[in-house]
């Protein structure tokens, strides 16, 4: 079993299980067959820590990384990552020089964007690879099929651009009814037939890799599945392993007399003399305020209900029924402790949202502690000045 640690400073951290990540990657790669893997690490790797996740996935053999913005690509390049990075989202024309200098692969969805990249690449004596996104029915970002073909032909005439790939994104691949997904795929393949000089095509997200692996083509783009969860609507029968646990330590225990209230708005009143624990995690850290008086955390293997309103930086839990709980005890906010578990999926259910929002909402001030084989391998913090300080880890027993 892995040792349980507390980073120096505020006792709140996310543990990233690299063994679980490797397991999920192997599962998805097996489903994707011969397709290359572009691991989706946008939104700070769905809240898991983009730099640490990217480095590990590259060690495990992924072919490329996928982000959504110039800023996300810059973060990875500044961390020394040299692998191919696909920027899947829209980028303004003024980003073109930066994209060329970063040697990343932008997504094109307009003639103006293509021209800006062509000019920036020509000025630097480079040939810039790009991917073209086709909107086949999500109606969000990309070009309709006929316009995509026309732009591809225009790009072919630009000496400083090379159209390396074509892709689309499915609107409902996770649904049981696959008719719309199949229709989108047919539209996409019709476009590909008209652009035969491009031989790197990708459409498959996690849901597609699992349910329709025959659509993986030359490259697949797993996202949520890497981190151990399935998209809403899919049967939760697959043995994916959640990668992230969110943990803290009890910072204070308050004796609350019967009849007294706690936290803002006085929404919870003690019905008996109560012991209430202070947890240094609030909505600024990504704990949904909608869990106020609804959710629970785990202390000494038991559920401790959240009482009162969740605050920006702190949350209160009822530990009256856990008499041996003491300051310094580990609190599991997301994850498993003993026989109990609080999953990100359950939090999403209680908050009427999706697991994507719960995971990606975990804030940047929460250190990410990367663990492999029970040992801490790296730590990511939002403040570089705090990085060295945070690496002082205090063993606190075993979980």
**CB-neighbour burial class of residue 310 (10 A; exposed 0-12, middle 13-18, buried 19+):** buried
Distance in angstroms (rounded) separating the CA atoms of residues 247 and 396:
13
- Tell me if 281 sits within 8 A of 342, measured CB to CB: no
Is 42 annotated as catalytic? yes
Best CA proximity match to 212, nearest among 19, 15, 35? 35
- Give the 3-state secondary structure of residue 385: helix
- Tell me if 85 sits within 8 A of 101, measured CB to CB: no
42, 133, 178, 247: the catalytic one is: 42
Q: Which two tokens stand for residue 138?
A: 């999500």
Which residue, chain included where needed, has tokens 């539209």?
A: 187
- Start-to-end CA distance of the chain, whole Å, equals 7
Is 372 annotated as catalytic? no
Residues 6 or more apart whose Cβ sits within 8 Å of residue 3: 374, 395, 396, 397, 398, 399
227, 247, 264, 283: the catalytic one is: 264
145-156 vs 111-123: helix crossing angle, rounded to 10: 20
Best CA proximity match to 280, nearest among 252, 299, 306, 256? 252
Best CA proximity match to 185, nearest among 207, 163, 155? 207
Best CA proximity match to 127, nearest among 109, 103, 110? 103
Q: Which two tokens stand for residue 3?
A: 């040792």
Residues with active-site annotation: 42, 264
């Amino acid at each position: 079993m892995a040792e349980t640690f507390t980073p120096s400073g505020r006792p709140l951290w996310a543990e990233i299980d690299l063994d679980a990540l490797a397991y999920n990657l192997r599962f998805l790669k097996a489903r994707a067959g011969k397709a290359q893997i572009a691991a989706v690490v946008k939104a700070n790797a769905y809240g898991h820590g983009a730099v640490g996740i990217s480095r590990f996935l590259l060690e495990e053999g992924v072919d490329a990384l996928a982000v959504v913005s110039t800023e996300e690509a810059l973060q990875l390049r500044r961390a020394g990552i040299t692998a191919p990075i696909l920027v899947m989202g829209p980028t303004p024309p003024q980003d073109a020089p930066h994209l060329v200098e970063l040697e990343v692969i932008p997504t094109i969805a307009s003639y103006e964007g293509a021209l800006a990249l062509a000019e920036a690449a020509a000025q630097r004596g480079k040939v810039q690879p790009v991917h073209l996104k086709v909107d086949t029915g999500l109606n969000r970002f990309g070009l309709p099929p006929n316009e995509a073909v026309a732009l591809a032909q225009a790009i072919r005439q630009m000496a400083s651009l090379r159209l390396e790939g074509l892709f689309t994104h499915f609107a409902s691949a996770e649904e049981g009814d696959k008719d719309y997904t199949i229709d989108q795929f047919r539209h996409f393949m019709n476009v590909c037939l008209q652009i035969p000089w491009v031989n790197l095509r990708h459409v498959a997200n996690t849901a597609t890799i699992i349910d329709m692996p025959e659509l993986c083509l030359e490259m697949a783009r797993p996202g949520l599945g890497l981190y151990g969860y399935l998209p809403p609507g899919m049967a939760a029968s697959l043995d994916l392993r959640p990668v992230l646990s969110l943990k803290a330590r009890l910072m204070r225990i308050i004796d609350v007399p019967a009849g007294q209230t706690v936290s803002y708005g006085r929404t919870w009143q003690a019905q008996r003399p109560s012991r209430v624990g202070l947890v240094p995690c609030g909505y600024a850290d990504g704990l949904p305020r909608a869990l106020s008086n609804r959710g629970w955390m785990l202390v000494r293997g038991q559920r401790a209900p959240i009482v009162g309103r969740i605050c920006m930086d702190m949350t209160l839990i009822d530990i009256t029924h856990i008499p041996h709980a003491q300051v310094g005890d580990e609190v599991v906010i997301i994850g498993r402790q003993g026989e109990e578990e609080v999953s990100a999926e359950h939090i999403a259910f209680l908050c009427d949202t999706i697991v994507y929002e719960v995971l990606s909402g975990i804030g940047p001030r929460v250190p990410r502690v990367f663990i492999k084989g029970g040992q801490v391998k790296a730590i990511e913090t939002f403040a570089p000045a705090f990085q060295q300080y945070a690496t002082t880890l205090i063993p606190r027993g075993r979980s």
